[in-house]
Amino acid sequence: MNNILRERERYIKRKLSHLLFEILEFPEKKDVLYIGLCYCQLSRIYGLDEIPLEGLKKCLNKYLIDFDSYPWRDYLLELELFYLRDEGDKFIKGSGLITYNPSGESFLSIDPRYGFLKQNFCQKVYRYWYISQKWENFSKPLNGWEVIENAIRLFNEGLYGETIFYLEDYLPYLNEKRELLMFRILKTLAIIGELIEKNERRKAIKELISLREFIGDFKPELRELPYNFKKLNKDLKKLEKQLKKSKRSIYTEPIRLERKRKNSLLDSLRKIFIWLLSD
């Protein structure tokens, strides 16, 4: 992939990530996903990239959305991935979508410039829909630690690219040392996740080793934080061994950053008992 395509891909992925953040912070915004859901469903059913606009209308009705009152033109323009073709083979895209009024048979498709992103786009749409239905209390962060907490939720759902973009967007919010430490750890974890998804194993191992060394260098500081870095380090060791196997593709369980387990009453009593015996 040349540099232009790589930059275009990153631009669209960042744009879609920002759409997810908006949806999570303002749930009513998820209406924009309906057009993506319908396009991906119908495209799979027809086995074509181009689908009839009339089919899109019927699909939206299944979601109880009135096509005539649904701002589909605005959403197509916002997504920036689509074009329309009318029965005269005229192509409408960009700002032309705002004024276009379909009078006959029209078709919808992903712009050929972004065709290589179709599969990724549909995966994202389904994933974002699931997350928007599942999550609550994901609000715009007010401080650095809320940024970290939100980013961890994204990471633990396997949204690695979104985690990176989120951390980069809110980097100015991070001022305390603990926040900056977590920024480095989370971003590297997300980079490792992306590299594994692309099967770039050598790069992933290099990042993984660097991260383990970083965690070891800051062990005292990390011990004060509410996340289980001891378990994370064990998981990273296991992942490193898996990545060093000779198979071309491997299944790896997703790495998660878990909270420390709170001490049970039995653990507390055991500690008190040991303390009494030591006196």
Q: Is the pLDDT of residue 37 over 60?
A: yes
Say how far apart CA 7 and CA 161 lie, in whole Å. 14
Band (pLDDT 50/70/90 cuts) for residue 199 is confident
* Two structure tokens written together for 89: 């083979």
pLDDT at 268: 47
Q: What is the mean pLDDT of residues 30-39?
A: 94
**pLDDT average, residue stretch 140-163:** 95
Q: What residue segments make up the domains of the chain, in order of their start?
A: 3-119, 141-261
**How far, CA to CA in Å, does 203 sit from each of 192, 209, 228?**
8, 10, 25
Rounded-to-10 torsion of CA 197, 200, 201, 205:
-100
Residues 6+ apart with CB under 8 A from 147: 141, 166, 167, 170, 173, 174, 179
Contact between residue 69 and residue 109 where contact means Cβ atoms under 8 Å apart: no
Please return the burial class of 160, using the count of CB atoms within 10 Å of its CB with bins 0-12, 13-18 and 19+. buried
Residue 233 to residues 87, 102, 154, 193, Cα–Cα distance (Å): 59, 57, 20, 15
| φ, ψ for residue 66, nearest 5 deg | -80, 115
Interval 41-50: pLDDT, tens: 999 998 999 9
At 254, is the secondary structure helix, strand, or coil? Answer: coil
Predicted confidence band at 249 (pLDDT cuts at 50, 70, 90)? low
Inform me whether the pLDDT recorded for 276 exceeds 50: no
Q: Of the candidates 116, 84, 120, 117, which has an alpha carbon nearest to the alpha carbon of residue 103?
A: 84
Q: Does 250 have pLDDT greater than 70?
A: no
User: What length is written for the chain?
Assistant: 279
Q: Does the pTM of the predicted model rise above 0.95?
A: no
The tens digit of pLDDT for each residue in 45-85 reads 989 999 999 999 999 999 989 988 999 999 999 999 999 99
Based on the number of CB atoms within 10 Å of its own CB, is 129 exposed (0-12), middle (13-18) or buried (19 or more)?
middle
* Short-list 185, 204, 161, 198, CA closest to 256: 185
Query: For residue range 152-195, what is the model confidence (pLDDT) as tens digits?
Result: 999 999 999 999 999 999 999 999 999 999 999 999 999 999 99
When pLDDT is cut at 50, 70 and 90, the band that residue 270 belongs to is: low
Q: Name the 3-class secondary structure at 251.
A: coil
CB 166 within 8 A of CB 144: no
* pLDDT at residue 264, rounded to an integer: 46
What is residue 252's predicted lDDT score, i.e. its pLDDT? 66
- What stretches of 90-139 show up as alpha helix (H) in DSSP? 96-99, 118-134
Round to whole Å and give the CA distance between 128 and 121. Answer: 10
